[in-house]
């Protein structure tokens, strides 16, 4: 059984530092048995980053928010990305962005600024969105037991590169209920075409060659740590002011 201290050492062995900006894609089951369960994992992570870092989880809701059910409620719409993001978004001090399908929840240094204004964009990962701010902050992405194909950050990179055929031409009339209960229209171009996750997984060799991946363990889970700036360079996109 793993303790919080065991998992903290795993984080350090991966060369993740308390002043990092870190986004985590996760499979709680892959970690194995943890004393105190998922709450222990989150307690450790939030304590690690609380002074000088930023911790974020994807709290996506694209499966539940659609033309038939167009309303995203930031407080009540669940994340479809697993137990850790779902528990994390409800915690004191955590702020969830207001995007109807591709929100993130963040805690730590400048968390409010990091998630701000996501609802003002009509695509999931536009320049200026939190996904783009990960790159600006020279962030890292930790995949705990998931492999690298579920890389929502790269959907953003696709947008910044203006690749064709990735988004619907028309906007779906979605709406957001914010933290104060205010209803905000938020029409969105949705992802289309499919197949991108498989493509992202196929990039692992190129990312390795660029020195963009660090591998390690978090409990029982096999982990991949990706450097946002390096993987964007592989794809031909460089950080812009």
In a domain, 122, yes or no: yes
In a domain, 147, yes or no: yes
In a domain, 241, yes or no: no
Q: What is the pLDDT of residues 10-54, one digit of tens each?
A: 999 999 999 999 999 999 999 999 999 999 999 999 999 999 999
Q: How far apart are CA 22 and CA 226, in angstroms?
A: 10
- Predicted confidence at residue 200, as pLDDT, reads 87
In a domain, 162, yes or no: yes
In a domain, 57, yes or no: yes
Please check the confidence at residue 3 and state whether its pLDDT lies above 80.
yes
Consecutive H or E run containing 26: strand 21-26
Determine the structural domain holding residue 83 and report its residue range. Answer: 4-235
pTM: 0.95
Report the relative pairing of strands 140-144 and 21-26 from DSSP bridges: parallel
In a domain, 202, yes or no: yes
Total domains present in the chain: 1
In a domain, 71, yes or no: yes
- Place 241 in a pLDDT band, splitting at 50, 70 and 90: low
In a domain, 240, yes or no: no
Task: Provide the mean pLDDT of the chain.
Answer: 95
| 48 to 105, 157, 164: CA distances (angstroms) | 16, 28, 40
């Amino acid at each position: 059984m793993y303790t919080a201290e065991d998992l903290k050492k795993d984080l350090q062995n991966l060369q993740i530092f308390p002043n990092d900006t870190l986004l985590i894609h996760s499979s709680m089951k892959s970690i194995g048995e943890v004393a105190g369960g998922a709450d222990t994992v989150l307690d450790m992570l939030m304590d690690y980053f609380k002074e000088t870092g930023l911790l974020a989880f994807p709290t996506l809701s694209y499966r539940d928010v659609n033309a038939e059910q167009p309303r995203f409620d930031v407080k009540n719409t669940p994340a479809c990305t697993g137990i850790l993001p779902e528990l994390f978004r409800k915690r004191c001090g955590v702020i969830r962005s207001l995007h109807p399908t591709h929100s993130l929840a963040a805690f730590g240094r400048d968390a409010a600024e990091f998630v701000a204004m996501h609802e003002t964009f009509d695509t999931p990962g536009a320049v200026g969105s939190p996904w783009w701010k990960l790159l600006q902050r020279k962030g890292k992405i930790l995949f705990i037991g998931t492999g690298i194909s579920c890389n929502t950050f790269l959907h953003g990179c696709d947008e910044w590169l203006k690749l064709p055929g990735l988004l619907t031409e028309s906007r779906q009339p979605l709406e957001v209920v914010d933290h104060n209960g205010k209803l905000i229209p938020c029409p969105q171009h949705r992802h289309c075409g499919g197949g991108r996750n498989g493509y992202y997984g196929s990039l692992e060799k190129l990312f390795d060659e660029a020195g963009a991946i660090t591998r390690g363990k978090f409990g029982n889970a096999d982990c991949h740590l990706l450097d946002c700036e390096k993987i964007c360079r592989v794809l031909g996109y460089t950080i812009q002011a």
